[in-house]
Structure formats: C-alpha cells, structure tokens
Amino acid sequence: MISHWLNIIKKTGLTSAVKDDEAKRIMVVNSFSFITALLCSLYGVLLSVISGQWIICYTAMAFVSGFFSILLLNKKGHYPLAKFGLTFVFSAVMLYYGILFGEQTQVHFLGLFLICVPLLVCSRREKALRCICISLPIVGMIMLESNYYFGVFEPMMLSASDSNLFRWLIMSVVVFLQGLVISFHQSSIIGLLRTLHVRNDALKLSRDDIAGKEAELQTAYHKLENYNQVLEEEVKQRTHEINESRIVVESILHHLQGNHEELQRKDMLLEQHVSELESLKASLIEAKDEAERANAAQSTFLREISHEIRNPLNAIIGISYLLLNDRRNKNKIPRSVVDYIENINASSHGLMEIINNVLELAKIEAGRTDDLQIAPFHLGEWVRGVANIYQNAAKIKGVSLQVQVDPQLPEYILGDRVHLAQVLNNLLANAIKFTPGGRKVHLHFHCPDADHWHIRVVDEGMGIPKEKFPLIFQPFEQADRSVYRKFGGTGLGLAISRRLVELMEGRIEVRSEPGEGTAFTVILPLKQGLLAPQAFQLPAKKTYSAVPTDKKVLLMEDSEVNQMIMDRFFANLGLQLTIACNGEEGISKARQLLPDLIVMDMHMPRLDGYDTLRLIRQDPLLKHIPVIAISADAFSEQQEAALMAGVNDYLTKPVNFDRLYEMVKKYLQQQALHRELA
Ligand code: ADP
C-alpha cells in the first residue's frame, strides 16, 4: 500500500508523451522533493524540540510546502521549473539553516550535494538550466561563507553539545542525500551499462549478421568467380567458333564470288542465247506469216481452181445429163452416140471425184476437216444409190459388181451418209479400176456383232504387195509407178478414206495377194438410226413427179451455157423460166414478175449474188421469195456465208439435177400452200 502511494508520488506528472530519460529525471526530482520534505519536517520538529526554538519548525514547514510545490509543478507539467525549484529550495534551506545554525554545524556541506543534483536532473540539452541550477548552490555557499567571514547575520545561540548534535544530524542528512544522489547516479550508470550491454549484444548480433552476410558475399563472390571463369571459357569457345564460322563464311563468300562471276558469265551467254532466240523467233514468226500467207494463197488458189473447173464441168455434166434425159431427145439419138454421152458423163463424174478429193485433202491438211453430219439413213437405198453409179462403170469394163447386204443389219443406220459414200466411192472405183474385165468385184455389208458393221470391197485384181500397205494410205502415193502409167489416179483416195473413217471412230484394213486380188474392210461402230431419214433419198429411177406448173421461176446467171442447161431443165419440169444476165437485171425483173422462186448464181457481173440477195431481202415485195444459190464455190465456209446472207438453199456446181429438182419442188409446193392459206 505504502509502496503503491510512494510509486504514485514518484510518478507525479508523468505522461505517455514523456520520454524514458526525462521520466527518470522527473522521478528523481519527485523522489528528492518528497524525501527532503519528509526529512525537513522530521528535522524541523526534532531540532525545535532539542533547541526549544520553534522558529526552526515553522521555517522547516515553509520549506516542506516549497518541496511539495515542486511536486505540484511536475504534476502541471512544468518540468524545468520544478528542476529549478528543487535546487532553489535546497539552496534556500542551505543558506537559511547555514546562517541560523552557524559555521560549526557545517550546513554548507549540503552545497556539495546540491552541486551534484543538477547533473542528475538536467539533461545534456538543458545546459542553461543546468548552469543556473549549479550556480544557485555555489552562490548560496559564497553568500554563506561571506556571512561567516563578515558576520552580517548572527547565528542562533546554541550550546556546544547542541551544536555538536546539530552538526552530526545535519552531516547525516548530507551524507544520506549524497548517498541518494550517488545511488541515483549509480542506477543511471547501471541503466546506461544495461543499455550499453543491450547495444553491445545488438552490435554482436549485427556483427554476426555481418559475418554471415560476409560469408554469403564470399560464397557469392566465389560463385561469381566460377561463373566468370565459365563465362570466360564460353566466350573463348564462342570466339573460337565464330572464328571458325567466319573462316567458313569467308570461304563461302569466296565461293559465291566465284559463282557470281560464273553467273555473270552465264548471264551474258544467256543474253546472247536470248537475243539469238529472239532473232530466231522473229524469223520463225516471219516464216509462220509466210506459211500463213502461202496457206491463204493455197486456199485462194484451190478455191479459184475449183471454181474455174466446176463451171465448165457443170456445162459438160449438164449437157450430157440433158442429152440423156431430155424428153424431146427420146429415141432420137442413136445408141452409139448415147454410149459416148454416157462415157462423157461418167468421165465428168470421175473428174469431179478428183476435184472433190483434192479439195478434201487440202481441207484436211489445213486442219479444216468438216464436222461429221450424223443422221439416220436408209441403208438399202443408200447402198443402191452408190452401187448404181458404179454398175455402169463396171459394166463398161466388163467387171461384174455383186452387192450383198447382211439381213442382220438394221434398216436405218445412224452415220454421215455423204462421207460414207465418199469412202465407198473410192474403194469401189479402185476395185473396178484394178480388176481386169471378166472378173468380179464383191461389195459386202455385214454385221459381225451387235456393236460393229463392216463394208468390205473384194476384187479379183492385180493385188498389192504387203510391203506397200503402209504406203498406199499416204497422200499422193501409189503402190507402183506402173500403176499411174496404166491407170492414172492421184494417190489421194485411200489417204482421204482412212482419215474420214477415223473421224467416224472406225478403221480400214487391207488384205491382198498379188495377182489374186485385194480386200478392203471398213470397220465402223454400229449405231442404229431410230428415226426415219430426214435427208433426201436418191430415187431408184430418175422419174420426176409433177411440180406445180403455174409457178414462175427467175434465173439469174451470166453464163449462156448454164442459162441454156437451166432453161431445158425447167422446160422438162413444165415450168416457165425467166432469165436475167446479172443481179441488177435480176432485181428489176423480179420486181416486174414477182416470181415464186429465184435461182441465182453467186458470181455475176455488175451486182454479185451477195449484193443482189441483200437487195431482195430488203425489198418488201421480194423479201419472202425463196432463193436457191448455185455456185462453183464448193468450200463449206463459202456455203455457210451464203446461207448466212439469206439464201434458202445452196447447190455446188456441177449441179446435181436430182437435188435441184427436189429443192424446186419443195419451195414451189410451199409457195402454193402459202397462197392457199393467204
Ligand atoms: P489412186 O487410186 O488415185 O492411185 P488411191 O489412194 O485410191 O489412189 O490408191 C493408192 C494406191 O493403192 C493405188 O495407186 C494403187 O497402187 C493401190 N491400190 C488401191 N486400191 C487397189 C486395189 N483394189 N487393187 C490394187 N491396188 C490398189
């Protein structure tokens, strides 16, 4: 309990804001004040009792209140004032009692204690306060000594024993207080030592820590050194490698340099080659242009030659036809002349075959082979038509032509009737040509399986040596020179036939024994024609059925021979023909006459066929009139051009009168029908 109260008194005025050092100093001030107050009260009473002088007690009580005032100052937080107050009250006590009790009591020794107190209660920073507090007891001691010396105030009258007792009592207080100061200093020194010890421990720890860190640094340094060594090794290795690579790169560069020079040399060579190639290309283009020009010239030449030959041939065939078929000549021409006319007619047909073959070959070589015209046709009638043509020639030569058709073959076949006839014509013409009189030529049509049909022409002629087989299918090639001398020919028939058969996806085979005969077999894919034939059919006999005879026909033709032939042809049909010598005259006559049909030559003076046709098609009176073109232009593109220009039909010269008849009949019947409907 007492210690509790003592503790409260000791800590008077302390707050949490006060630092530890300052708190200690405040506690010293409080302790000194409180202890001195107790001593002062005790001694005041005790000395008053001993001396019988109660003034001592009263003044002691005043000093006690002074000491408690110091506690009050600390309580209020006036710490420096409290420190000053402590030394001031102590100095006042020393001065007062020193004067009062006199020199013998040796109160001034209290000054020695007082000089030590400021060192205890003032911090190093409170220098001024410390100086003041130290100077206060010194001043007090000087004043006390001066008083002793000069005797300003007389001391209290004390007996020698009291004086002695007082001296011992005061000395004991001085010693106690001095001991208290020393003990405070000691505790402060111990605290300092403790702090030093703690600091020392901390320093030790931090030194250990530093040593550990140093060891770590040492290890890291060793590691770094090792790493450095490794790095150096690696750098050395890399440098070595780089040096080696550099050597390789240098050698590659050197090599590339060599290659570059080589390339430059080759580049120059290439440039030379390119320029050579370019000049070659230029000469090739020139040669190509030359070839194209030559080709065009050849085509023009062929067209013109064909045109020039066809016109006179038309006259020969037309006249011989009319001589043989004109009703007015019936029974008037002697038999021998009829034979001549028949020969003329047959030879003209032969000549036409040659022209057709030459044109066909020219077209094949120019790469302009006509597309196949596939249509169903009646096999029997087609065979009869082709065979009839050659029966006459065979008969003249004394060769027997025997035709045999396999009953397995369908009635209608799908194929190109015209080109097939061209192939068969060539084979039959050769067979009859190379077979001596009195022997036979067989023409077989048979069907070995469901997918193929064969046309076989077998003769009993001179035959062909085996080594010549490849040769005879080449254009302008014949088996033997003697063949030409004896039989003539162009060497084109088989070449064209093979080309046409290949176009029809078939092939030609030949077998022959020299001196015994030859067999040509055309093997073709069999396609049955399901539809009735659309194209014309050769009539078995040349008997023309009636055409509407009240119709007017206008012929535009400049050749007088052709005019004459046409005139007789239409007269035979019972039709009246009006003739115009050129296009201009033809247009004016057409406007006067308004004919039912116009037959027109495409090559006429003044106004040619194309211009005339254009005028007809532009004229409202004439534009509906059908026009049949008759021309010696036998090329398909020429026919197409005429059809595009507006002709209704096209016939090449020499005129096939049977076809002309069919066309005339068709258009006149159509006209009659239109009139009736109108
Ligand atoms: P050309 O009959 O106009 O000479 P082809 O091309 O038709 O031309 O015939 C070429 C050649 O093949 C003939 O010249 C002939 O030597 C030979 N040749 C063709 N058919 C027969 C045949 N039936 N008998 C003998 N030789 C033939």
Q: What pLDDT, on a 0 to 100 scale, did the predictor assign at position 82?
A: 94
pLDDT of residue 113: 81
Instruction: Give the amino acid at 409.
Output: L
Strands 440-449, 400-405: pairing kind: parallel
Residue 481's pLDDT is 67
| Chain center to CA of 447 | 59
Residues 570-585: tens digit of each pLDDT: 888 888 899 999 999 9
Of the residues 531, 559, 583, the one at which a domain ends: 531
Is residue 399 in contact with ligand 1, taking CB distance under 6 Å? no
Measured distance CA(27)–CA(588) in Å, rounded: 159
Confidence at residue 532, expressed as pLDDT on a 0 to 100 scale: 43
Q: Are residues 13 and 118 in the same domain?
A: yes
Whether 434 is in the pocket of ligand 1, judged by its Cβ within 6 Å, is yes
Residues 165-185: what's their mean pLDDT? 86
Q: How far is the CA of 462 from the centre of ligand 1 (A)?
A: 10
Instruction: State pLDDT tens for residues 326-372.
Output: 666 667 777 777 777 877 776 777 677 777 777 766 666 665 555 66
What's the rounded mean pLDDT across residues 276-293? 88
pTM > 0.85 = no
Look at residue 71 and tell me whether its pLDDT is greater than 70. yes
One domain for residues 504 and 581: no
412-415 and 375-378 strand pairing? antiparallel
Which pLDDT band, with edges at 50, 70 and 90, does 228 fall under? very high
Q: Is residue 551 part of a domain?
A: yes
User: Which H or E run contains 183?
Assistant: helix 160-325
DSSP-assigned states of every residue in 559-624: -HHHHHHHHHHHHHTT-EEEEESSHHHHHHHHHHH--SEEEEES--SSS-HHHHHHHHHH-TTTTT
Q: What is the mean pLDDT of residues 593-614?
A: 90
pLDDT of res. 545: 61
- Is 526 found in the same domain as 639? no
On whether both 31 and 106 belong to a single domain, the answer is yes
Q: What is the mean pLDDT of residues 371-380?
A: 80
Examine residue 71 and state whether it is found in any structural domain, yes or no.
yes
Ligand 1 center to 361 CA (angstroms): 16
Q: Whose CA is nearest to atom 16 of ligand 1?
A: 479
Q: What is the sign, positive or negative, of the torsion defined by CA atoms of 170, 172, 174, 180?
A: negative
Q: Are residues 557 and 479 in the same domain?
A: no
626 three-class SS: coil
Distance CA 607, CA 140 (A): 169
Which atom, in ligand 1's list, is nearest to the CA of 434? Answer: 24
Q: Tell me what the pLDDT averaged over the chain comes to.
A: 85
Please tell me the predicted confidence (pLDDT) of residue 536.
Answer: 33
Do 480 and 557 have their domain in common?
Answer: no
| Over residues 262-277, mean pLDDT | 90
3-state secondary structure of 422: helix
Peptide bond into 654 cis (omega under 30): yes
- Calculate ∠ Cα 187-189-195, nearest 5°: 105
**pLDDT (average), residues 531-542:** 39
Q: Which residues contact 570 (CB under 8 A, 6 or more apart)?
A: 553, 555, 576, 577, 664
Higher pLDDT, 103 or 388: 103
The residue type found at 334 is P
Alpha-carbon distance of 628 to 662, in angstroms, equals 12
Segment 567-573 long-range contacts (CB within 8 Å, at least 24 positions apart): 568/322, 568/326, 569/318, 569/322, 569/657, 569/660, 570/664, 572/322, 572/325, 572/326, 572/327, 572/544, 573/544, 573/547, 573/549, 573/661, 573/664
Instruction: Specify the 3-state DSSP secondary structure of 458.
Output: strand
Residue nearest to atom 13 of ligand 1 (CA): 478
> Is 497 a residue whose pLDDT tops 50?
yes
| CB contact at 8 A, 136 and 110 | no
In the block, which residue shows the tokens 């007017």? 552
546 vs 207, higher pLDDT: 207
Cα four-point dihedral sign 586, 591, 593, 597: positive
Residue 282 counted as domain residue: no
Separation of alpha carbons 115 and 133, rounded Å: 8
What is the structure's pLDDT at 537? 37
Closest C-alpha residue for ligand 1 atom 4: 491
Q: Is 44 in the pocket of ligand 1 (CB under 6 A)?
A: no
- Interval 88-112: pLDDT, tens: 999 999 999 889 888 888 888 888 8
Q: Which pLDDT score, from 0 to 100, does residue 483 have? A: 67
- The answer as to whether 85 is a domain residue is yes
Give me the torsion for CA of 520, 525, 529, 535, rounded to 10°: -50
Shared-domain flag, residues 559 and 519: no
What CATH number should be reported for the domain holding residue 560?
Answer: 3.40.50.2300
pLDDT at 612 over 50: yes
Count up the domains in the chain and report the number: 3
Is 461 close to ligand 1, i.e. is its CB under 6 Å away?
yes
| pLDDT(595) > 60 | yes
* E strands, 184-300, in order: none
- Residue 386 inside a domain? The answer is yes
For residue 444, the domain's CATH number is 3.30.565.10
Residue, of 675 and 258, whose pLDDT is higher:
258
Separation of CA 142 and ligand 1 centre (Å): 177
Whether 195 is in a domain gets the answer no
| Chosen domain end from 123, 154, 184 | 184
Does 426 contact ligand 1 (Cβ within 6 A)?
yes
Per-residue pLDDT at 538 exceeds 90: no
Residue 435 confidence class, pLDDT cut points 50, 70, 90: very high
Q: In the listed set 142, 158, 184, which residue is the last one of a domain according to the structure?
A: 184
| Domain span at 637 | 546-677
pLDDT surpassing 60 at residue 540: no
Interval 445-485: pLDDT, tens: 999 988 899 999 999 999 999 998 988 988 777 777 676 66
668 Cβ inside 6 Å of ligand 1: no
Collapsed DSSP state (helix, strand, coil) of residue 402: strand
Q: Are 554 and 667 in contact (CB under 8 A)?
A: no
Instruction: List the Cα angle 318/378/423 in 5-degree steps.
Output: 60
Q: Are residues 494 and 591 in the same domain?
A: no
397 vs 393: CA distance, rounded Å: 6
577 lines ligand 1 (CB under 6 A): no
Residues 34 and 119 in one domain: yes
- The response to whether residue 479 sits with its C-beta less than 6 Å from ligand 1 reads yes
CA–CA distance, 214 with 490 (Å, rounded to integer): 121
Q: How far is the CA of 478 from the centre of ligand 1 (A)?
A: 6
Q: 435 CB under 6 A from ligand 1?
A: no
User: Is 111 within the bounds of a domain?
Assistant: yes
Mutating to test ligand 1, I would choose from 433, 483, 521 the residue with most ligand atoms within 8 A of its C-beta, which is 483
558 and 515 co-located in one domain: no
pLDDT confidence bin for 546, thresholds 50/70/90 = low
Q: Are residues 526 and 554 in the same domain?
A: no
Residue 599: beta bridge partners? 555, 628
For residue 179, being part of any structural domain is answered with yes
Answer whether 483 contacts ligand 1 (Cβ < 6 A): yes
Q: Which residues contact 606 (CB under 8 A, 6 or more apart)?
A: 582, 583, 584
**Closest C-alpha to 86, from 45, 27, 127:** 27
What tens digit of pLDDT does each residue of 12-35 get? 988 888 888 889 889 999 998 999
The pLDDT of residue 363 is 65
Q: Name, in order, each residue with C-beta under 8 angstroms of 205's C-beta and a sequence gap of 6 or more.
A: none
Decide: 494 in ligand 1 pocket, CB within 6 A: yes
Q: Give percent of the chain with pLDDT exceeding 90.
A: 33
- State residue 422's pLDDT score: 83
Q: Are residues 620 and 520 in the same domain?
A: no
